[in-house]
A and B are shown apart, each in its own frame.
Chain A
Amino acid sequence: EAAVTQSPRSKVAVTGGKVTLSCHQTNNHDYMYWYRQDTGHGLRLIHYSYVADSTEKGDIPDGYKASRPSQENFSLILELASLSQTAVYFCASSLGQNERLFFGHGTKLSVL
Chain B
Amino acid sequence: GDSVTQTEGLVTLTKGLPVMLNCTYQTTYSPFLFWYVQHLNEAPKLLLKSSTDNKRTEHQGFYATLHKSSSSFHLQKSSVQLSDSALYFCALLFSNTNKVVFGTGTRLQVLP
Contacts and interface: CB of A to CB of B under 8 A. Distances in A.
Interface of A: 31, 33, 35, 40-45, 48, 50, 56, 58-59, 90, 92, 94, 96-98, 100-101, 103-106
A50 B87 CA distance: 28
A97 B49 CA distance: 12
A31 B25 CA distance: 22
Given A41-B104, A45-B100, 11 more contacts: A42-B105, A45-B99, A48-B98, A56-B97, A98-B93, A100-B46, A101-B34, A101-B91, A101-B100, A103-B45, A106-B43
A33 B101 CA distance: 10
A97 B103 CA distance: 20
Contacts of A45: 99-102
B46 A43 contact: no
Contacts of B107: 40
B73 interface: no
Contact of B44 (A31, A90, A94, A96): A90
Contact of A100 (B34, B43, B99): B34
A35 B99 contact: no
Contacts of A101: 34, 36, 44, 46, 91, 100
Given A31-B98, A43-B89, A90 B103 contact: no
